[in-house]
């Protein structure tokens, strides 16, 4: 049954895209968790709803519209953060509901959108196309190059911003770069996991790794491993048991997190 499943082109597409995005979400998730930015990831995910709705209203590819909208929201938040004295969570507290409110109103104005709403909110592997695989690979290459060339600087900024600035690192530029990377990965992952659960797939692998590891490199490695297991087991289970893909992947991840939590407690006891 499982082998048969792997022969289906739709499942192959979803699995390939899921594994690529799983690695990206896991690595970026380490930065999100260490910088306590899960609220930002949530805001970007939810603002993508508005992008999807706008795309449908304007009769363009809704996921491309979501990608563009998520990038614009990320850039907007980064700029506001730079020029405002307000904290990031305060800015997100304004952006987040405003974007969702706009999305809901556009949903009401868009005929036929409501029928697809569940797949947008919770993910649907049937919607993953060859174009999504190519897009995921392109984003993976871009993010990979940025992380290889700037990863150490991003980690130093994560550790201590003042220390990073004093070493001549252009912190606002790297922050913008990070937020754009995160927004791109979130927008492209919505088809698989859905708007509601996207934050979980970014936070859970990194949080699980944080329970088990003591160095930065091992945290990244374990986060990637947890994400890949969650995607693989979750997607296979969802297809075999006819469950929605996003929630199943997230539940597998949450189970791994709970296990890591218990292991960490036992270790420290």
Q: How many residues bind other proteins (CB under 8 A)?
A: 24
Could you say whether residue 70 binds other proteins (CB under 8 A)? no
Tokens of 200: 């979980």
Q: Does 268 bind other proteins (CB under 8 A)?
A: no
- Which of 87, 152, 173, 265 binds other proteins (CB under 8 A)? It is 152
Site for other proteins contains 8 (CB under 8 A): no
Nearest approach, Cβ of 89 to other proteins (angstroms)?
17
177 contributes a contact to other proteins by CB under 8 A: no
**Nearest-approach distance from CB 162 to other proteins, in angstroms:** 4
* Cα 264 to Cα 72: distance, rounded to the nearest angstrom: 39
CA end-to-end span of the chain, whole Å?
43
CB of 52 or CB of 226, closer to other proteins: 226
Residue by residue, DSSP assigns 81-120 as: HHH-SS-HHHHHHHHHHHHHHHHHHHHHHSTTHHHHHHHH
Q: Does 213 bind other proteins (CB under 8 A)?
A: yes
Q: 185 is written with which tokens?
A: 């990965």
216 binds other proteins (CB under 8 A): yes
Taking the mean position of all CA atoms in its chain, how far away is CA 72?
16
What region does 111 belong to: left with phi over 0, alpha with psi -120 to 50, or beta?
Answer: beta
- Pick one of 39, 165, 233, 254: the residue that binds other proteins (CB under 8 A): 165
| Cβ atoms of residues 205 and 189 within 8 Å | no
Q: Which position has the token pair 């993976």?
A: 140
215 binds other proteins (CB under 8 A): yes
Q: Which is nearer to other proteins, 9 or 83 (CB)?
A: 83
Examine residue 34 and tell whether it contacts other proteins (CB under 8 A): yes
Nearer to other proteins, 108 or 160 (CB): 160
* Cα–Cα distance, 48 to 94 (Å, whole number): 16
Which positions touch other proteins (CB under 8 A)? 34, 85, 148-149, 152, 155-156, 159-160, 162-163, 165-168, 170, 210, 213-219
């Amino acid at each position: 049954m499982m082998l048969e499943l792997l022969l289906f082109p739709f499942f192959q597409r979803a699995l390939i895209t899921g594994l690529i995005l799983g690695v990206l979400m896991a690595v970026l998730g380490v930065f999100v968790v260490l910088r306590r930015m899960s609220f930002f990831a949530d805001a970007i995910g939810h603002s993508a709803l508005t992008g999807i709705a706008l795309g449908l209203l304007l009769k363009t590819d809704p996921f491309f519209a979501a990608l563009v909208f998520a990038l614009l929201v990320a850039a907007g938040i980064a700029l506001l953060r730079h020029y405002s004295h307000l904290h990031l969570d305060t800015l997100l507290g304004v952006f987040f509901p405003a974007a969702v409110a706009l999305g809901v109103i556009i949903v009401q104005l868009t005929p036929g959108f409501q029928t697809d709403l569940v797949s947008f909110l919770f993910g649907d592997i049937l919607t993953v196309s060859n174009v999504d695989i190519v897009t995921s690979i392109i984003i993976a290459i871009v993010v990979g190059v940025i992380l290889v060339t700037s990863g150490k600087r991003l980690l130093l900024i994560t550790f201590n911003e003042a220390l990073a600035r004093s070493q001549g690192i252009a912190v606002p530029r790297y922050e913008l770069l990070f937020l754009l990377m995160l927004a791109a990965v979130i927008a492209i992952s919505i088809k698989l996991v859905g708007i509601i659960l996207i934050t979980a797939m970014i936070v859970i692998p990194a949080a699980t790794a944080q329970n088990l590891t003591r160095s930065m490199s091992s945290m990244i490695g374990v986060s990637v491993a947890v994400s890949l297991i969650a995607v693989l087991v979750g997607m296979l289970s969802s297809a075999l048991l006819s469950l929605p893909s996003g929630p199943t992947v997230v539940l597998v991840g949450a189970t791994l997190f709970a296990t890591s939590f218990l292991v960490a407690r036992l270790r420290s006891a």
